[in-house]
Amino acid sequence: MHIFRCFTQIRRLTKMTSLESAKKTAAHTAVDLHVQNNTIVGIGSGSTVVYAVERLAERVKAEKLKVQCVPTSFQARQLIVQHKLTLTDLEINPRLDVCIDGADEVDNNLTLIKGGGGCLLQEKIVASCARELIIIADYTKNSQKLGDQYKKGIPIEVVPMAYAPIKTQIENLFGGAVELRMAKAKAGPVVTDNGNFILDWKNFQQDYNWENVNTKLNLIPGVVETGLFVKMAKKAYFGLADGSIKEQV
Contact 59, 117 (CB under 8 A): no
Contact 38, 88 (CB under 8 A): no
Half-sphere exposure of 148 (CA within 13 A, CB side): 15
Tell me the C-alpha to C-alpha distance, in Å, between residue 46 and each of 23, 81, 168. 11, 16, 30
Q: Tell me how crowded residue 126 is: count the other CB atoms within 10 A of its CB.
A: 26
Task: From 10, 48, 248, 52, select the one nearest 138 (Cα to Cα).
Answer: 48
- Spatial distance between the Cα atoms of 38 and 16, rounded to a whole number of angstroms: 35
**Cα–chain-centroid distance for residue 214?**
17
Q: Roughly how many angstroms between the first and final C-alpha of the chain, as a whole number?
A: 47
3-class DSSP state of 5: helix
Q: Is 123 a catalytic residue?
A: yes
- Spatial distance between the Cα atoms of 24 and 26, rounded to a whole number of angstroms: 5
Tell me the C-alpha to C-alpha distance, in Å, between residue 74 and each of 69, 123, 147. 13, 11, 28
Catalytic residue among 105, 123, 157, 225: 123
Residues tagged active-site? 123
